[in-house]
Amino acid sequence: MTDARIIDGKAVAASVRDEISSRAAGLLDAQGIRPGLAVVLVGEDPASQVYVRNKDRTAEACGFNSIKHTLDAATPEADVLALVETLNNDPAVHGILVQLPLPKHIDESKVLRLIKPEKDVDGFHPVNVGLLTTGERDHALVPCTPAGSLVLLKRTLGDTLSGQNAVVVGRSNIVGKPMASLLLQESCTVTVAHSRTRDLPDVVRAADIVVAAVGRPEMIRGDWIKPGATVIDVGINRVPAPDLGEGKNRLIGDVAFDEAVQHAGAITPVPGGVGPMTIAMLMANTLTAARRQLG
Ligand code: GUN
């Protein structure tokens, strides 16, 4: 079998960002509104710092106001809640994102539940989760990584998702569960597999579409992939790479790419697959939130 088509998430994300930039420029011209995205980072987790910097830069590049709040790791929970409340009430802020994970002394769910659902550009508030699962996507804000994964699937498969067997590996609130809801809405037959799933290789072998979101480097092997299946690898795992030099790391996915590429019909690389789409969809959500808040 010939090697899989490589799904170029970087290129798709660039085209999504271009579209958003021009729509944001239109909004500014027509209504004098510039979408505002507030990102809250508590602590100094290095991976979170990289993500937040990328979000900040991309928002600026799209013509948004980007407001970054960096708080000390020891900030009391009450101060974080007070900041969220201030941002909820600030009319220049259309989207609020609190970077996860939060330090242990802060109740994550309490913070996320305080964000106004119409400003919840991560789509993590129970109101948005509810709207997504009841099929009211037009009123919801949908989590960025699964939304971006669906865009890649649609660009790859066109209008053929209906009836396909989709296996989502991973059941997180950030990716696995919302991904399953989105695929169900596209009329896929959806299986959510996880660490307790029995005979995982055989479950994956039945999939026309595999979405891997477990956070375990190269856990999904090539011979688990049905010939011709579409593989979306959400994993971003940093592993030591002594071949690149002492102390160097490289990013790899949850799928053993070199093996899977020989079985799949199409596959996302890591990096350059789902990653760039996540930030592009955050911009899309912020623009959507700004337009909806106009009334
Ligand atoms: N940490 C890892 N992924 C995410 C995400 O999608 N949103 C937020 N807020 N934090 C994260």
What percentage of the chain has pLDDT greater than the value 70? 100
Task: Determine if residue 171 is labeled as part of a ligand binding site.
Answer: yes
Domain CATH number, residue 70: 3.40.50.10860
184 and 62 within one domain: no
Measure 175 CA to ligand 1 centroid, in angstroms: 10
Tally of domains within the chain: 2
* Domain span at 154: 143-276
> Is 122 a pocket residue for ligand 1 (Cβ < 6 Å)?
yes
User: Would 233 be classed as within a structural domain?
Assistant: yes
Same domain, 154 and 250: yes
Q: Same domain for 54 and 106? A: yes
In sequence order, what are the residues at sequence separation of 6 or more whose Cβ sits closer than 8 angstroms to the Cβ of residue 48?
Answer: 41, 99, 100, 101
Is 71's C-beta closer than 6 angstroms to any atom of ligand 1?
Answer: no
CA distance 119 to 96: 6
- Provide ipTM, 2 decimals: 0.95
Question: CATH number, domain at 229?
Answer: 3.40.50.720
What is the average per-residue pLDDT within 276-284? 98
Residues 239 and 202 in one domain: yes
Residue 126 included in any domain: no
Cβ(235)–Cβ(255) under 8 Å? yes
Does a structural domain hold residue 289?
Answer: no
Residue 192 forms part of a structural domain: yes
pLDDT by residue (tens digit) across 104-146? 999 999 999 999 999 999 999 999 999 999 999 999 999 999 9
Q: Is the residue at 210 inside a domain?
A: yes
| Predicted structure pTM score | 0.97
Identify whether 101 is preceded by a cis peptide bond (ω within 30 of 0): yes
Q: Examine the domain organization and report whether 265 and 147 are in the same domain.
A: yes
Residue of 41, 58, 111, 122 to test ligand 1 pocket, by largest number of atoms within 8 Å of CB: 122
For ligand 1, whether the C-beta of 75 sits within 6 Å is no
Tell me the per-residue pLDDT of 149-191, one tens digit each, with 9 for 90 and over.
Answer: 999 999 999 999 999 999 999 999 999 999 999 999 999 999 9
Using an 8 Å Cβ cutoff, are 233 and 268 in contact? Answer: yes
Asked if residues 166 and 188 have their Cβ atoms less than 8 Å apart, the reply is yes
In order of 46, 236, 243, 245, 269, the CA distances from 251 in angstroms are 15, 6, 13, 15, 10
Would you list the DSSP string of 157-178?
Answer: HTT--TT-EEEEE---TTTHHH
Model confidence pLDDT, tens digit, residues 25-83:
999 999 999 999 999 999 999 999 999 999 999 999 999 999 999 999 999 999 999 99
90 and 164 within one domain: no
